[in-house]
Amino acid sequence: MSLDWIYWAISWILLLWHSAWDAIGVSTGAFLGTNWSWILAIIFLVVTLRVILFPIFVKQIKSQRAMQAIQPQLKALQEKHKGDRETLQKEMMELYRKEKANPLMGCLPIFLQAPVFIGLFHVLRRLDPINQGKTKYGWTVDQFESATHARLFDVPIAGKFGSSAAELARLNASGTSVKILAGVLVAIMIATTYLTSRQMILKTGWAEDPQQRMIQRLMLYGIPASLLVSGAIFPIGVVIYWVTNNLFTLAQQQWVLRKYPPPPTAARLPKPGESARRTTGPRRTTDSRNPVQPAKPAKPAGRFSRSKANGTQPESKPVVDTKALAPKPGAKPVNPKKGRPAKRQG
């Protein structure tokens, strides 16, 4: 399948923005050794793309909210069909359809941006004096010549960290300068790529669904790690595009997450491998038959307590024989009041 239509579309947007900034007079002179009309054209290529994809980005956030809301149901299905993977997948797909949740929605914006990235990479890679007479995709000779010599801080945007000596010579560039600027931009690209994924996970929490969690791991660790290798072959203009796109994403996500806040429980979901047990506060039991009661104050130790603590028995009272004190048969009852002195009469 030919990708020429992508190259034509990217070239058209890029040249349109360059013409707009050129008409304003931005390209007059090179401030700080930079041809700002081409740098701004790349930046506003990002803006154009993100404005087009904004409705899809909002759908991504809503889908993630739906995924968080059905986590208890997903967990119940996993327990119910633990040994039947086929039935589990069928029940999960039915639940996704019913609740309008899509676990793959988190990767959709990246998939849609991939053709744009590929198109820009192909177009900027052709910015080499060796292709001077081979202009394509709507470029004129003057535009090609201007873009080939466009620079950022006196470094050509067509250069890359892994440029060969022959390529650097054709671009009239210093290998050291190209490597320094490209290395700094690639480091920023990796850092901002990690931060965009981390920002989303911190706000929404780790997913309970294994498939969704695997996607989160890939976004957080896999893609930034891959840029350590692939970043060396990206032209500086492509790295500028990627960094700008990440910064735009960070700002956009912050705004969308404030407008559509995650459920209160989402931010407290444990990370993979982390125990869900509370780490602070007193431990409580969930058994209603044996609730944890506050400790009762100790009773003051009496004679019995002291004796028991010392290992001795408490002192016993003398046993009174009531039969011996009872009057014998035929004997006159004893009047206890008799014999007492009579009270004096007032």
Tens digits of pLDDT across the chain (346 residues) = 578 899 999 999 999 999 999 888 886 566 788 899 999 999 999 999 888 888 887 777 777 777 777 878 888 888 888 888 888 888 888 888 887 777 766 667 777 788 888 999 999 988 888 887 678 899 999 999 999 989 999 999 999 998 999 999 999 999 899 999 999 999 999 999 999 888 877 776 776 667 767 877 888 888 888 898 888 899 999 999 999 999 998 998 888 778 767 666 544 444 445 544 444 444 444 444 444 444 455 555 554 444 444 445 555 555 555 555 555 555 555 555 544 555 555 4
Q: Is 251 helix (H, G, I), strand (E, B) or coil?
A: helix
Rounded Cα distance between 243 and 246, Å, is: 5
Residue of 241, 277, 272 whose CA lies nearest to 117: 241
Question: DSSP letters along 166-223, please?
Answer: HHHHHHT--HHHHHHHHHHHHHHHHHHHHHHHHHHHHHH---SSHHHHHHHHIIIIIH
Rounded Cα distance between 125 and 148, Å, is: 10
Contact between 278 and 272 under an 8 Å Cβ cutoff? The reply is no
Q: Write phi, then psi, for 215 (nearest 5 degrees).
A: -65, -40
The tally of CA atoms less than 13 A away on the side-chain side of residue 220 is 15
Contact between 314 and 303 under an 8 Å Cβ cutoff? The reply is yes
Rounded Cα distance between 96 and 102, Å, is: 6
Rounded Cα distance between 169 and 178, Å, is: 12
Q: Write phi, then psi, for 48 (nearest 5 degrees).
A: -60, -45
Contact between 58 and 256 under an 8 Å Cβ cutoff? The reply is yes
Buried b (16+ CB within 10 A) or exposed e, 227-250: beeebeebbbbbbbbbbbbbbbbe
Rounded Cα distance between 41 and 244, Å, is: 12
